[in-house]
Amino acid sequence: MYNPKSLKAEEFIDHQEVLDTLEYAEQNKNNVELIDSIIEKAKLRKGLDHREASVLLACEIPEKIQELYDLAQQIKKDFYGNRIVMFAPLYLSNYCVNGCVYCPYHYKNKHIARKKLTQEEIVKEVTALQDMGHKRLAIESGEDPVNNPIEYIIESIKTIYSIKHKNGAIRRVNVNIAATTVENYRKLKEAGIGTYILFQETYHKESYEKLHPTGPKHNYAYHTEAMDRAMEGGIDDVGLGVLFGLELYKYEFAALLMHAEHLEAVHGVGPHTISVPRIKRADDIDPGVFDNGIDDDTFAKICALIRVCVPYTGMIISTRESQVVREKVIKLGVSQISGASRTSVGGYTEEIRPTDSEQFDVSDQRTLDEVVRWLMEMGYIPSFCTACYREGRTGDRFMSLCKSGQIQNCCHPNALMTLKEYLMDYASEETKAIGEKLIQAELENIPKEKAKLIAADHLKKIEEGIRDFRF
């Protein structure tokens, strides 16, 4: 029985409730009166529930979809301004004991090169990432209690935070590792991680079990209840996501929102981020085998809807998507993107990287400098900021600041200062010239006069070589 407050996966992601929601959405997809009332509610910027959201997803009336897109763009502007947070993934190990049928790391794949970074290799990888200008990483690893135990992950996080190379520093390490115990989540919290990210892959239990036929990941309840254990272990920023293409997108979308509602109902704080990966070609994986792939328009609609339904939740898009698709969805609500990513273990250092160890094909192959310049040419501020988490603005504290609109007085100056650091330390001359102009213009958009003056002063000091100012 559906119960968002329950701690049991099958009750907060109740299969029957998802089916009833889809039926309700189908019946009402042309109900203009209802659709208008849902859009009116969305304009209050307090979000929508899974039923309301599903009606909008089912609706195919062009004018209504346009209204949705316009609203998503407006909410994006009001809540996130023109800032886009930058990050990069760092693959630690591709040893894996699971049998996920869509992932080339599955244990039966004998021709992918297996690799686990040593601490010395992590230093090399992180140094290469720092030399590009990255400040925020998402570490990725397969699940293998022997090769990649929690102690290895913790040691790696400590290594990453300890590396200070020239003006570089990784200031936030987000973690994308398999579902684990409360005790291990506590260890991750103590190691100072940012967001704990775990993709659900699919919320459809029967499909989930077929797609994960063997290994610890086979356990649907254990995987789906992971965020509750993470929060019990003290992690207050968690990131959700489904791998679009595995199951019917309408099912996934309704269930994803139910998961967000569950976190809010039980822990008083919704997901910090939602990622929207789509399945990609990879070694021994042909995405054509999965017949639930979604086209670019549906993908854009989902992004717009997530923005409208959970306005306070950041949205992440990776280099799985091409420049063209990224451009479209950034406008509609994406707030965080990766740049210059390598999805293989040792991918940032040629001498470490074995050939053929990628997790999936990367569509956007540009350098970080190119991505930064591209964003600025479109009027966005690439932000390397990590201040919230380091100032303790996480979980419900972050959410309440965000909901009151106060966050703008921190985020905007922080974005400008971290962009300035990037320009001074890493950018090409062309990128630097565009960036300097943008910063001068954007300084005027800091709402509070006092914050504007302080930011201007800090920007000058960054020019003199001092780093890491933050509001």
Torsion of Cα atoms, 335 then 341 then 344 then 347, to 10°: -150
Three-state SS at 1: coil
Pick the closer one to ligand SAM by CB: 360 or 469.
360
Q: Is 133 in the site for ligand SAM (CB under 6 A)?
A: no
The one-letter code for the residue type at 372 is V
Q: How far is the CB of 100 from ligand SAM (least distance, A)?
A: 7
Window 311 to 330, contacts with ligand SAM (CB under 6 A)? 320
Q: How far is the CB of 141 from ligand SAM (least distance, A)?
A: 6
Pick the closer one to ligand SAM by CB: 49 or 361.
361
Q: How far is the CB of 216 from ligand SAM (least distance, A)?
A: 9
Q: Is 342 in the site for ligand SAM (CB under 6 A)?
A: no
Q: Among 11-19, 32-40, 273-281, 344-352, which window interacts with ligand SAM (CB under 6 A)? A: 273-281
Q: How far is the CB of 321 from ligand SAM (least distance, A)?
A: 10
The whole-angstrom separation of Cα 115 and Cα 345 is: 6
Q: The tokens 């049928």 sit on which residue?
A: 101
For 157, the enclosing helix (H) or strand (E) is helix 150-162
Q: Among 110-118, 275-283, 409-417, 442-450, which window interacts with ligand SAM (CB under 6 A)? A: 275-283
What are the strands, taking DSSP E only, across 267-308? 273-275
The whole-angstrom separation of Cα 447 and Cα 409 is: 6
Total length of the chain: 471
The whole-angstrom separation of Cα 83 and Cα 384 is: 10
Radius of gyration of the chain (CA): 21
Q: Among 15-23, 175-183, 254-262, 419-427, which window interacts with ligand SAM (CB under 6 A)? A: 175-183
Q: How far is the CB of 162 from ligand SAM (least distance, A)?
A: 23
Q: How far is the CB of 295 from ligand SAM (least distance, A)?
A: 16
Q: Is 280 in the site for ligand SAM (CB under 6 A)?
A: yes
Pick the closer one to ligand SAM by CB: 122 or 285.
285
Q: How far is the CB of 350 from ligand SAM (least distance, A)?
A: 21
Q: Among 74-82, 195-203, 427-435, 444-452, which window interacts with ligand SAM (CB under 6 A)? A: 195-203
Q: Is 140 in the site for ligand SAM (CB under 6 A)?
A: yes
Q: By C-alpha distance, which of 420, 433, 406 is closest to 469?
A: 420
Q: Is 285 in the site for ligand SAM (CB under 6 A)?
A: yes
Q: How far is the CB of 75 from ligand SAM (least distance, A)?
A: 26
CA 190 to chain centre: 22
What backbone phi and psi angles, to 5 degrees, belong to 430? -65, -45
Q: Which of 12, 79, 80, 102 binds ligand SAM (CB under 6 A)?
A: 102
Q: Among 185-193, 197-205, 308-316, 367-375, which window interacts with ligand SAM (CB under 6 A)? A: 197-205
Pick the closer one to ligand SAM by CB: 80 or 185.
185
What backbone phi and psi angles, to 5 degrees, belong to 47? 90, 175
Q: By C-alpha distance, which of 245, 205, 210 is closest to 224?
A: 205
Q: Is 199 in the site for ligand SAM (CB under 6 A)?
A: yes
Token pair of 274, please?
């939602």
Pick the closer one to ligand SAM by CB: 56 or 282.
282
The whole-angstrom separation of Cα 10 and Cα 389 is: 32
Q: How far is the CB of 445 from ligand SAM (least distance, A)?
A: 36
Pick the closer one to ligand SAM by CB: 143 or 421.
143
Q: How far is the CB of 98 from ligand SAM (least distance, A)?
A: 6
Q: Among 66-74, 280-288, 410-418, 433-441, which window interacts with ligand SAM (CB under 6 A)? A: 280-288
The one-letter code for the residue type at 354 is P
Q: Is 225 in the site for ligand SAM (CB under 6 A)?
A: no
Residue 141: strand pairing partners: 93
Residue 391: CA count within 13 A, CB half-sphere: 16
Complete DSSP assignment for 21-85: HHHHHHHTTT-HHHHHHHHHHHHTTS---HHHHHHHHH---HHHHHHHHHHHHHHHHHHHTTEEE
Name the DSSP class of 400.
Answer: H
Q: Is 103 in the site for ligand SAM (CB under 6 A)?
A: yes
Three-state SS at 210: helix
Q: Are 439 and 419 in contact (CB under 8 A)?
A: yes
Q: Are 276 and 316 in contact (CB under 8 A)?
A: yes
The whole-angstrom separation of Cα 451 and Cα 354 is: 48
The whole-angstrom separation of Cα 176 and Cα 238 is: 10
How many residues bind ligand SAM, per CB under 6 A? 21
The whole-angstrom separation of Cα 103 and Cα 91 is: 14
Q: Is 412 in the site for ligand SAM (CB under 6 A)?
A: no
Q: Which of 198, 317, 411, 459 binds ligand SAM (CB under 6 A)?
A: 198
Q: Is 277 in the site for ligand SAM (CB under 6 A)?
A: yes
Q: Is 177 in the site for ligand SAM (CB under 6 A)?
A: yes
Q: Is 310 in the site for ligand SAM (CB under 6 A)?
A: no
Q: Which of 14, 17, 143, 442 binds ligand SAM (CB under 6 A)?
A: 143
Q: Which residues bind ligand SAM (CB under 6 A)?
A: 102-103, 140, 142-143, 176-178, 198-199, 201, 217, 243, 277, 279-280, 282, 285, 320, 359-360
